[in-house]
Chains A and B, each alone.
Chain A
Amino acid sequence: MTSNWITTRAWLLMLPLLIVMIAIIGWPLIDTVRLSFTDAKLVGTQGSFVGLDNYVKILSGSNFQRSLITTFWFAILSVSAEMVIGVLAALLLNQRFYGRSALRALMILPWALPTVVNATLWRLIYNPEYGALNALLVQIGMLDSYRSWLGEPGTALASLILADCWKNFPLVALIALAALQAVPRDITAASMVDGAGVWSRFRFVTLPYLAGPLMVALVLRTIEAFKVFDIIWVMTRGGPANSTRTLSILVYQEAFSFQRAGSGASLALIVTLLVTVLAVAYAALIRKTAGAS
């Protein structure tokens, strides 16, 4: 068999998949790019070519800027909280204690739940009339009267972040726990004999083992957080007063609520570009971390 035939056969075998991928990813992507240079509406008009008009309008508009800031806050706060809580949970679950296996299994539960279910649960918890959070805070005396956590611009985003953390810290914890189990016992013992206290041991001995895997978790979670849609859509639909309107919500509103397919497409492409930049930057960072250890 010639190497030529091997190459040809490889392409032939991949052909069905390539056709499917071009049909469901390639074509829509190209069409979205085309759409983004038109003023097409969702129904009715095909739209006409408007050049960079859509992009200029979006980038100079206050809606986009505000959504960008909201998205950044959401991503930074939820991801950093998830990392810290996840690592702490992993450290705890790496100790020997009775019921550890059960607790490890239990921890996965929030992450295993569909986002819509999680969002609905938290909407109940935050409910201004009969929500558990209100009841708890009032009963322990931290709050005088029930509040509408999702109904006030000042607390809505923070409430969403808490719900998102609850759902996603288990992923970080799982990754960290797996990494912790790769720390050789001799190394931990050696650091104890060397006189390292709990903090030094974590900082100098354990953390280097966690760095690589945590970086992967960080990348995954940041990109996901940047694209966040479903949890917000179920809980607040971007409100109140657009205080939780992240970029993906904005894209949805633009394209489907206001039926402006053209500018919706350009907005979607801008978000895609931002996420791509993040992904590339992180990939470089991961390579650097992997090279260092």
Chain B
Amino acid sequence: MSALELIDIRKRYGSVETLKGIDLSLADGEFLVLLGSSGCGKSTLLNIIAGLAEATDGDVRIGDRSVTGVHPKDRDIAMVFQSYALYPNMSVARNIGFGLEMRKVAEAERIAAVEKTAKILQIENLLARKPSELSGGQRQRVAIGRALVRDPQIFLFDEPLSNLDAKLRMEMRTELKRLHQMLGTTIVYVTHDQIEAMTLATRIAVMRDGQIEQLAAPDEIYNRPATRYVASFVGSPPMNMLDCTFADGLAHIDGTLSNIALPAHLHEVAAAAHHITVGIRPESLTLADASNTKFGIDAKIEVVELTGPELVVTATIGKQRLTVSLPPRSQVSVGTTQRFAIDVSALHVFDRATDKRI
């Protein structure tokens, strides 16, 4: 049985189509992250799952039951909002228990459920307070508690961590992961933060222009991005994209005399595409040592930034930009030309005509 199934979901506002046919199926206990930049349709999709927006076309099925046209309260879902959306006039306890109160759960049972939830989230001492007396992180916990207490089939999270500062965001991220492992709930989570997506998800749906660009496990998204867009969206610093022309087993970097030897199994398709983009993650490049200067690409170093755990080098190769992540104590100097060695097994090659992976 699938917990959630989306069948050809479409959404039109006037003549603008914001969702162009979304299909996906989610198993029980999965943590799906809808990842994309703003305006890609991810929040609209979440609202359609919640029932807060109506799809123009298509069907939403929750637990093998079609819920198209069903009111949000009858969909067996709970939602955590970006703004937390706590009721300002109610205590924390009442905020958490409000959903049960509205469902006419007996008071004793309700109090027990609220207390149990508060214990899981470690907010027992806050139950009597009003939301205005809480910090951002505490509010977030209460918002999660309000969803948790109802024990729904699916949890929906709409950018829940984006209002928190960086340190708190990391803490809450770990907390969410812990909750998911502990409770085994099914979660659909919207974010534009690729780190959140990579760390939390069991599967990521990278969305762009109202379509799913790639739906896969985080590892696959990172190591085998299906399109150029996915490749450049996930990873920090982003993947280098070098426009090349393929000939004789080599990808010749446009505007330079440098070239990259491609693995043999790619030759045939690369030759067919001719114009290709070679993607190299910044961490797949290393300083070429003196004994091995024959292989590699030469780039002129422009900026060197020490982030702490790594040294980020920005260089140019022809008219194209190259970012390299090096160990912090690497010896490089601005203005010089440096040869970088490439881990050929970690190359990503895209057809420039279709932007698809070869």
Which residues of A pack against B, CB within 8 Å? Answer: 184, 186-187, 189-197, 200, 204-205, 208, 292-293
Contact = CB atoms under 8 A, between A and B. Distances in A.
Interface string B55-93: 000000000000000011100011101111111111000
Given A200-B102, A204-B98, A193 B87 contact: no
A200 B99 CA distance: 11
Chain B contact-residue range equals 20 to 34
A194 B99 CA distance: 4
5 contacts: A187-B85, A189-B85, A193-B99, A195-B103, A208-B89
A292 B77 CA distance: 32
Contact of B72 (A193, A200, A205, A208): A193
Contacts of A193: 50, 52, 72-73, 77-79, 99
Nearest to B71: A192
B89 A194 contact: no
Contacts of A195: 73, 99, 102-103
B50 to A, nearest CB: 6
Contacts of A293: 88-89
Given A192-B72, A195-B103, A204-B98, A187 B87 contact: yes
Nearest to B90: A204
B281 interface: no
Q: Which of B78, B79, B103 counts the most chain A CB atoms within 10 A?
A: B79
B150 to A, nearest CB: 8
B88 A191 contact: no
A186 B71 CA distance: 16
A214 to B, nearest CB: 14
B146 interface: yes
Contacts of B102: 194-197, 200
A59 B37 CA distance: 74
Contacts of B103: 195
B268 to A, nearest CB: 52
B82 A186 contact: yes
B73 A190 contact: no
Contact of B81 (A186, A196, A205): A186
A244 B312 CA distance: 85
Given A190-B87, A193-B99, A194-B98, 18 more contacts: A186-B82, A187-B87, A189-B50, A190-B85, A190-B146, A191-B98, A192-B52, A192-B72, A193-B50, A193-B52, A193-B79, A194-B99, A194-B102, A195-B103, A196-B102, A204-B87, A205-B87, A293-B89
Contacts of B52: 189, 192-193
B79 A208 contact: no
Nearest to A197: B102
B87 A191 contact: yes
B81 A190 contact: yes
A184 B71 CA distance: 20
A50 B68 CA distance: 82
A194 B88 contact: no
Contacts of A187: 85-87
